[in-house]
Amino acid sequence: EHAMPRKKDDKIRQAIRDAGVDDVVDVGLGGTSLPRIARRAGLSQGTIYLYFDNKDALLQDVYMEIKEAAHAQLMAATKGATTSKERIQSIWNALIDFMIENPKDFAFRENVAAALALTQDRQASLKAMEQELLSILENAVADQTLKPAPIDSIVAVLVAPARHLARAANTSATPLSARSRDETFHLIWAGISLID
């Protein structure tokens, strides 16, 4: 009799994923190990190997899943937006929402972004997602909604305050107010736009 290959279970994979995220957030990338992740997930280390070849593969997969989920949420936010300003503001708000709704995923991404040696396929996939977002800003410069500034400067001016607001909301008992969110965007917009 041949043993049937074990069917992979989505709940187990999710438990491994969540344990990996929690471990990186709690002890950093250097302290994370498969035995620690297995203990956190309440599984044997052997079970993890049914789903991932090694720690690096697990972390890369999780990182890409988080990037893809965030990107999908940002792009979905632009549906129905008709002007460059509406698109940019929708993406900005969706970015804050994603970071607040997924604080551990956000912290994981921040922890591993610079350290992961991604495969070429994954790098190409990230580049394509990034280019989709950058083209919205490039179009806004082209249609004279935004000042003719370097795109990476515009990204920095948009992302840093969003990251700050989300981090503050995630670490305090007070939720981010709509007023604070709107006023912050208004200040950013005053700095980068050619229109009101």
At 80 the pLDDT is 94
Q: Which of 67-71, 114-118, 123-127, 189-193 has the lowest mean pLDDT?
A: 114-118
| Secondary structure element (H or E) that encloses residue 111, with its range | helix 103-112
pLDDT tens by residue, 98-129: 999 999 999 999 899 888 888 899 999 999 99
CA-CA distance, 92 to 139, in Å (whole number)?
Answer: 16
pLDDT tens by residue, 51-62: 999 999 999 999
Computed over every residue of the chain, the mean pLDDT equals 94
Average the pLDDT over 164-189 and give the result: 95
Question: Considering the entire predicted model, what is its pTM?
Answer: 0.90
CA-CA distance, 43 to 47, in Å (whole number)?
Answer: 6
Residue 189 pLDDT > 90, yes or no?
yes
Percent of the chain with pLDDT over 90: 88
Residue 174 pLDDT > 70, yes or no?
yes
- pLDDT-derived band at 157 (thresholds 50, 70, 90) equals very high
Please work out, in degrees rounded to the nearest 5, the angle formed at the alpha carbon of residue 160 by the alpha carbons of 17 and 165. Answer: 75
CA-CA distance, 96 to 94, in Å (whole number)?
Answer: 5
Residue 75 pLDDT > 70, yes or no?
yes
